[in-house]
Structure 1
Amino acid sequence: MDGKKILFVSSELVPYLPENEVSLMSYETPKMVNSNGGQIRIFMPRYGNINERRHQLHEVIRLSGMNLVINDMDMPLIIKVASIPKERIQVYFIDNEEYFKRKATFADENGTLFPDNDERAIFFAKGIVETVKKLNWSPDIIHVHGWMASLVPLYLKKYYADEPLFSESKVVTSVYSKGFEEELNPDIVKKIEFDGISADDITPLAKPDYNNLLKIAVDYSDAVILASEEISEDLTKHIATLQKPVLPYVPFHEFEEAYANFYNTEVLK
């Protein structure tokens, strides 16, 4: 991985959120690349339940200040940054008062998904790309973890298709079993169409459940990693039809060599 630039985009990340399959691999994978000489950047949402004082988040004024248009509304983009202790790894946080101030990640105290999770996912996807453009940093690989990040491949390949900074970037999506039981707001299709993306390009989102969000993510990725041992049959069958590299599930203690080899021989070939 020496000298390769990899952008990691994640819904969740330790130590900022509790440990689960997504948040742990979102930490361990960039750590592995970093230790093997790669250059990394990590992006995640700045949820309101992240303790800014404890984790020493601070706003990056030069990157903040632009508005992103989400469904015909101007939403201010705030960028914060923090460093993971002992690892010399910097994390960028996509923030907006309307979308991310609430003291929870994806659902309310009753476990009901927030009705604007669709808009939060769109904002997150566009916010990442706009920030990386400001950084003028062209990644070799963009590795996506978690469903809140699942619209990133779509937006890169459609909305930002003519952006030269990403013309050589390869998108990898890790697919996890951990998802959600409900569906997102059915207006997600109209909101994505507002950005000039055809409904024909996102037909699975007519039913915006977890599996269909991930189908969109893998459809617009260049390669796929099966990051959980058990993935739904529906999603597994869909991935099997894709004409693109797929890394089967490997146990945690074997992932470093397997992921590095997959990046080098399948993604960057």
Structure 2
Amino acid sequence: MENNKVLFISQEITPYLPENPKSLLCRKLPQGIQEKGKQIRTFMPRFGNINERRNQLHEVIRLSGMNLIIDDTDHPLIIKVASIQAARMQVYFIDNEDYFSRKFTIADDNGKEFEDNDERIIFFARGVLETTKKLRWAPDVVHCLGWFTALAPLYIKKAMNDDPYFADSKVVYSVFDDEFTVDLNDGIRDKAKIEGINDDDLKVLNPANHINLTKLAIDNSDGIIQGSEKINSEIEKYIKESGKPFLEYQPEEKYIDAYNEFYDSL
């Protein structure tokens, strides 16, 4: 049976952020899958260096207004949307003043990675899933692209395994060569817990480095895609030893067809 609804959770999408292989893939893939006849929804963080006026972002009041509690603190969830007219697709943005107002993505202008990146990825993953439920949209496939999305598979498989919107979703995780260099805050193992997730589910995040975060995503995914031509050798070995369906790197002219078939095979 074909999987007809695909939720894309992306770390970056051009034209909202600068062009690179990942942001281009995250721009072209949803359009290509939509043109194959599938329904899509696409999310990314509303990083502070996104030009809202030029890209015509606007808040979706009916979806905003929820608070997410992280480390005993309330953080308002703001949802914005913009349209890529040429692709006839909308992009939803997860926003919050505490996490996404600074004019950078994951590091400052000196290259120093933000100390709260752990909370930012928690907020982003939970925000996407809560907003998808508010849209009353049950995806057949959830495709997570980039390490900033790496907690979404855990939340879907452990916290939302009985939720009618996600109980039957297949999760695909794309691994890229986009490693962060400074370990995430150790507190992530407590902060990431919500109902349905316990210490055991997060024990791999010790330390909370890029390799272990990627392993956590692989453990909670139904299929893995190699998104970059070369990826970390330890991660590549871990994927192959997992025995999970694995799609190796696909060049630009082939990936839409290959990913589409991969979704259907799950």
TM-score interval for Structure 1 and Structure 2 normalised by the shorter chain = over 0.9
Which residue is equivalent to 1:102? 102
The one-character-per-residue Cα deviations of 1:177-215 (angstroms, maximum 9, x if unpaired) are 122122111111121236552222122211111121111
In structure 2, the residue corresponding to 1:130 is in which secondary structure? helix
Distance (Å, rounded) in 1 between the aligned partners of 2:59 and 2:113 = 28
- Asked whether the 8 Å contact 1:3–1:39 carries over to 2, the reply is no
Which residue is equivalent to 1:139? 139
Matched residue type, 2:214: L
Distance (Å, rounded) in 1 between the aligned partners of 2:150 and 2:114 = 17
Distance (Å, rounded) in 1 between the aligned partners of 2:238 and 2:143 = 20
Deviation at 1:26, TM superposition (A): 1.0
Q: Are 2:46 and 1:46 aligned?
A: yes
Which residue is equivalent to 1:204? 204
Unaligned runs of 5+ in 1: none
The one-character-per-residue Cα deviations of 1:85-134 (angstroms, maximum 9, x if unpaired) are 31110000000000000000000111111000000100011111110111
In structure 2, the residue corresponding to 1:68 is in which secondary structure? strand
- Asked whether the 8 Å contact 1:2–1:38 carries over to 2, the reply is no
Which residue is equivalent to 2:257? 257
Q: How does 1:15-94 map to 2 (within 5 A)?
A: 15-94=15-94
Matched residue type, 1:217: A
Q: How does 1:1-12 map to 2 (within 5 A)?
A: 4-12=4-12
Distance (Å, rounded) in 2 between the aligned partners of 1:23 and 1:151 = 19
The one-character-per-residue Cα deviations of 1:49-72 (angstroms, maximum 9, x if unpaired) are 000000000000000001011111
Cα distance change on mapping 1:194 and 1:165 into 2, 3 Å? closer
In structure 2, the residue corresponding to 1:252 is in which secondary structure? coil
In structure 2, the residue corresponding to 1:114 is in which secondary structure? coil
Which residue is equivalent to 2:177? 177
Distance (Å, rounded) in 2 between the aligned partners of 1:128 and 1:54 = 24
Matched residue type, 2:103: K
Which residue is equivalent to 1:242? 242
In structure 2, the residue corresponding to 1:63 is in which secondary structure? coil
- Asked whether the 8 Å contact 1:9–1:142 carries over to 2, the reply is yes
Output the aligned Cα RMSD.
Answer: 1.5
Matched residue type, 1:4: N
- Asked whether the 8 Å contact 2:159–2:194 carries over to 1, the reply is no
In structure 1, the residue corresponding to 2:25 is in which secondary structure? helix
In structure 1, the residue corresponding to 2:86 is in which secondary structure? coil
Q: Are 2:155 and 1:150 aligned?
A: no
Matched residue type, 2:117: N
Matched residue type, 1:155: Y
- Asked whether the 8 Å contact 2:185–2:208 carries over to 1, the reply is yes
- Asked whether the 8 Å contact 1:2–1:36 carries over to 2, the reply is no
Deviation at 1:42, TM superposition (A): 0.3
Deviation at 1:22, TM superposition (A): 1.8
Deviation at 1:243, TM superposition (A): 2.7
Matched residue type, 2:41: R
- Asked whether the 8 Å contact 1:34–1:40 carries over to 2, the reply is yes
Matched residue type, 1:109: D
- Asked whether the 8 Å contact 2:218–2:224 carries over to 1, the reply is yes
Which residue is equivalent to 1:125? 125
TM value normalised by structure 2: 0.96
- Asked whether the 8 Å contact 1:140–1:169 carries over to 2, the reply is yes
